[in-house]
Amino acid sequence: KRFKPGIPTEEGTTMGSLVSRAHFDRVMGFIDSAKQEGARVVAGGHAVTDGPLKDGCFIAPTIFADVTPGMTIAREEIFGPVLAVRRW
């Protein structure tokens, strides 16, 4: 909750944007598939579209719980601000 997506040169920003629209779309696809496959969103899970970030490639830091080994987010490397928590 303390991570703040934003413009890297602005005070208080702790996390920048993803590198491209394609990367953004890929990470959002993983988030959407996790929701559809039954993972529970604990935090985030959405694009950040506030003010000056509305046209950027910003994703809120996302945590999923109840992730099972068969889910896409458990098997693939996401390379984005997404954490998948599962029982070992």
Phi, psi angle pair for 65, to nearest 5° = -115, 175
What are the boundaries of each domain within the chain?
21-84
* Contact (Cβ atoms closer than 8 angstroms) between residue 43 and residue 60: yes
Question: Residue 74 and residue 2: Cα distance in Å, rounded?
Answer: 25
What's the pLDDT score for residue 2?
82
Question: Residue 53 and residue 37: Cα distance in Å, rounded?
Answer: 29
**Among 3, 65, 57, residue whose Cα is nearest residue 39:** 65
pLDDT in tens, 22-67: 999 999 999 999 999 999 999 999 999 988 899 899 999 999 999 9
